[in-house]
Amino acid sequence: MGNLESILDRFAIEGKIKEVKPLGNGLINDTYKAVTEGNAPDYVLQRINNAIFQDVDLLQHNIEAVTRHIRGKLEAAGEKDLDRKVLRFVPLKDSPKTYLLDDGKYWRVSVFIPDAFTYDTVDPKYSCFAGEAFGRFEAQLADIPDTLGETIPDFHNMELRARQLEEAVAADKAGRLKDPEVQSILAEMREHMEEMCLAERLHREGKLPKRICHCDTKVNNMMFDAEGRVLCVIDLDTVMPSFVFSDFGDFLRTAANAVAEDDPAIEKVAFRKEIFEAFAKGYVKEASAFLTPVEKDNLPYGTLLFPFMQAVRFFADYLNGDTYYKIKYPEHNLVRTRNQMALFHSVLANMDYMKKYIASL
Ligand code: GN1
Ligand code: MG
């Protein structure tokens, strides 16, 4: 039995494993698909990156609470096909825990959702579906009885990301600061830093609440069925209390960009307004039940914040010598930074338009 098979064998799965192969393209965890023989479901095996998610027990506590709560709501609403509409994590054979610590590595297993698709780009119709789905996800979790912890403390806190950037600059671990391009990116980021920390200020003034958000609403973290309807939201590691801008902004950061976040052709980076409009419409429809005026009015700021925050995070990692995000070549994080800053400018040019559009909803 191979190593991955012997890990799977510790979980209470059905059927006999036929094959285990890599799955997806996440930047943080290692993910595999375990194909079983016969009628048993297939499974997703993941090694949790515990350098990044340092409290795996809290992480799985959050995920179990979230999936239990959503499953309960779907059941109460008489939904069928539950295993395609909410993730199900498999316990260990000898304990109710849904993760395994083996030789310093953390593993978990969930049921693979059959006949489901993820996309790296969407058209306006799918974008609207996605807006509804993330709005509904937040609405479903608005009355969760469990207390969820922050699996990465201050994950989307721009003030923290600003401090981490300045720490990376001060240490200059990879000796990359001497590059004139790096200097000019840094100057530009510093220029916008204060205005981008608006959410933290509003929160301190008691004007902006934290709610349970997904916090990694990349377009490919949503599963669709063959007809294009949303089945469920995946990649729940970062579900935690945050500002609604997290989910709104991060989806548009990925879906409304005309190219991928690491496309080196930055002249092709552009903010696709039709994707913004469709997503905003779907999201506001489902979220209007709980959104406050301050949250709604600042959705354009949230749209601007996420390319900026992501640029700062990629850039800090570049300065630190690429210790956080998986990279495929040495300049990868710099290319990502350029791309996200170009998107930031494209969104910035559309602020007035976005404000008018949101006000019209
Ligand atoms: C990471 O899990 P994955 O690879 O979808 C990151 C996100 C970033 C994203 C950028 C825990 O997401 O915050 O937006 O890369 N997740 C974590 O592609 O840092
Ligand atoms: Mg992902």
pLDDT tens digits, residue range 149-188?
999 999 999 999 999 999 999 999 999 999 999 999 999 9
**216-250 tens-digit pLDDT:** 998 889 999 998 888 999 999 999 999 999 999 99
Judge: domain 124-360, CATH 3.90.1200.10: yes
Question: Which position has the higher pLDDT, 218 or 32?
Answer: 32
Residue 52 phi/psi, 5-degree rounding, is -95, -45
- Which residues are registered as beta bridge partners of 211? 242
* Under 8 Å between Cβ of 309 and 341: no
Q: Which atom of ligand 1 is nearest to the CA of 235?
A: 2
Amino acid at 359: A
Give the C-alpha separation, 199 to 193, whole Å: 12
Residue 109 DSSP SS3: strand
Q: Stretch 63-71: mean pLDDT, rounded?
A: 96
| % of the chain at pLDDT higher than 70 | 100
Question: What pLDDT is recorded for position 24?
Answer: 83
List, in sequence order, every residue forming a beta bridge with 233; answer none if it has no partner.
222
pLDDT over 70 at 310, yes or no: yes
- Using CA atoms, how far residue 62 sits from 98, 144, 148, in Å, is 12, 11, 6
Distance from the alpha carbon of residue 358 to the mean position of ligand 2, in angstroms: 28
Does 52 contact ligand 1 (Cβ within 6 A)? yes
* Spatial contact of 133 and 233, defined as CB atoms under 8 Å apart: yes
Average of per-residue pLDDT across 297-324? 98
Q: Identify the residue whose C-alpha is closest to ligand 1 atom 15.
A: 27
260 CB near ligand 1 (under 6 Å): no
- Average pLDDT for the chain: 95
Ligand 1 centroid to 324 CA: how many Å?
A: 10
User: Quick check: CB of 218 below 6 Å from ligand 1?
Assistant: yes
Q: Residue 175 — left, alpha, or beta (φ > 0 → left; ψ -120 to 50 → alpha)?
A: left
Pairing of strands 100-102, 222-224: unpaired
Q: How many CA atoms lie within 13 A of 316 on its CB side?
A: 20
- pLDDT at position 111 over 90: yes
Which ligand is in closest contact with the Cα of 215? 1
pLDDT of residue 26: 79
**Residue appearing with tokens 């997703």:** 44
Read off the pLDDT of residues 293-302 as tens digits, 9 standing for 90 and up. Answer: 999 999 999 9
Predicted pLDDT of residue 1 = 60
Alpha helices in the chain (DSSP H): 3-8, 56-76, 82-85, 124-141, 158-171, 180-196, 198-204, 245-255, 273-287, 293-297, 299-319, 332-348, 351-359
**What pLDDT score was predicted for residue 243?**
97
Residue 48 main-chain phi, psi, to 5 deg? -80, 130
The SS3 assignment for 46 reads strand
pLDDT at 218: 86
pLDDT at 109 over 90: yes
Q: Which atom of ligand 1 is nearest to the CA of 325?
A: 15
pLDDT score recorded for residue 269? 98
**Is residue 2 over pLDDT 80?**
no
User: Once rounded to an integer, what is the mean pLDDT over residues 196-205?
Assistant: 98
Test site for ligand 1: of 50, 54, 157, 216, most ligand atoms within 8 A of the Cβ = 216
- The pLDDT > 90 percentage for the chain reads 94
- Distance from residue 235's CA to the centre of ligand 1 (Å): 10
pLDDT-derived band of residue 25, with 50, 70 and 90 as boundaries? confident
Phi and psi of 344, rounded to 5°?
Answer: -50, -45
Domain residue spans in the chain?
A: 2-111, 124-360
Fold annotation for 2-111: Phosphorylase Kinase; domain 1 (3.30.200)
